Amino acid sequence: MLNRELTHLSEMSRSGNQVSEFISNTFLDKQNELEIPCPMAKTREWKKRPHHQTQLEGQGTLTQISGVRKLSQSTGLQGSSISRFGVKTDQEELLSEDLENINKWGLNIFRVAEHSHNRPLTCTMYTIFQERDLMNTFKIPTDTFVTFMMTLEAHYHSDVEYHNSLHAADVAQSTHILLSTPALDAVFTDLEILAAVFAAAIHDVDHPGVSNQFLINTNSELALMYNDESVLENHHLAVGFKLLQEENCDIFQNLTKKERQSLRRMVIDMVLATDMSKHMSLLADLKTMVETKKVTSSGVLLLDNYTDKIQVMRNMVHCADLSNPTKSLDLYRQWTDRIMNEFSHQGDREREKGMEISPMCDKHTASVEKSQVGY
């Protein structure tokens, strides 16, 4: 049925064809389309190849996590007192007014960024952790938390228009709200809540502003490292967890070994689920699970095992990641402009390299309206 609709869409116009291509390439499983060479052909090809060509170029660098870098001492607190919202700003009162809406859907994260000297992720996460009393519950030293958050935020690229710390802050705050929905009242433990908010915060760290397919098509080091499978999502996880090892950054230092292992497992599950190629299967699995689950008399879902809980948590962070269209129109328009600009930059790079331009990335033909339907 979906294929039929995509065919119809592609026949309507050039921009419709781009959207059809994007949906097909992004959401539909391509595994069955791989052409497997016959064993004899593969053997002949191997015999022709010189021995030195069987080694990966730059093999030594694959053992390191790219993107993690030492930051200047200004990132740390250097013994200074913690500011009210975790960041120093001369517009604290305005920031306070913004963050009064931390428990409301549609917080204006652009104003938060403006009033926090472009530290939206740090101050938003600081406020969420205070609001949920996670600092006390998990004995997280305040200076360690702020140091980690500032380090994490510095590893988001400010020159990437959409997938930056502004987006991460928005997703973290949206996840915070979804965790409080009445149907999930008292469903999740404090550790599960901690994992979900942390996953939202790190889910796009060190994003280069291009898609998984672009990295695969250009034979990037990341694609080689992660075998073309959820390339960016695996990288975000690696960077996010690696940053915990930086000086005074281990916000989970007082968790038990079992708690750390459990949290890591959940975070990995949630961040990998933000890969758009998993979208259709996520929806199908969630629909099946919800239809077979019981609810209490007050409408609260009964989730009594890890499989059910993590399924809801995966979808929750995924929904938060795609929640722009549900925000007020003025906010939605800003996000739309940003993602279209990021797509265009990728298209420009593909044009420069003589590559086929990805769907929705050609600034000369892309339709904003149809692109938003697809994305």
166 annotated among ligand-binding-site residues: yes
* Rounded to 5°, angle at Cα 80 from 96 and 191: 65
204 annotated among ligand-binding-site residues: yes
Taking phi first (over 0 means left), then psi (-120 to 50 degrees means alpha), and beta for anything else, what does residue 56 get? Answer: beta
* Residue in the block written with tokens 């298209």: 347
As given in the structure block, the two tokens for residue 264 are 């890591």
321 annotated among ligand-binding-site residues: yes
Whose CA is closest to 201, among 235, 176, 222? 176
Whole-number Å distance between alpha carbons of 68 and 194: 23
As given in the structure block, the two tokens for residue 278 are 């998993």
176 annotated among ligand-binding-site residues: no
* Residue in the block written with tokens 């200076």: 143
Tell me the angle at which helices 120-131 and 92-99 cross, rounded to the nearest 10 degrees: 60
Catalytic residue among 115, 163, 207, 236: 163
Backbone angles phi, psi at 295, to 5 degrees: -125, 155
What's the burial of 40, exposed, middle or buried (CB within 10 Å: 0-12/13-18/19+)? exposed
Whether 149 and 198 have beta carbons less than 8 Å apart is answered as: no
**301: helix, coil or strand?**
strand
Active-site residue flag, 51: no
- Residue 11's alpha-carbon distances to 15, 18, 21, 364, in angstroms, are 10, 10, 11, 19
Whose CA is closest to 226, among 275, 186, 264? 275
**112: helix, coil or strand?**
helix
Whether 178 and 316 have beta carbons less than 8 Å apart is answered as: yes
How many secondary structure helices (H) and strands (E) does the chain include? 18, 0
* Rounded to 5°, angle at Cα 313 from 308 and 314: 100
As given in the structure block, the two tokens for residue 56 are 């990966």
167 annotated among ligand-binding-site residues: yes
Binding residues for Zn(2+): 167, 203-204, 321
Binding residues for AMP: 163-167, 204, 321, 372
Write out the catalytic residue numbers.
Answer: 163
Binding residues: 163-167, 203-204, 321, 372
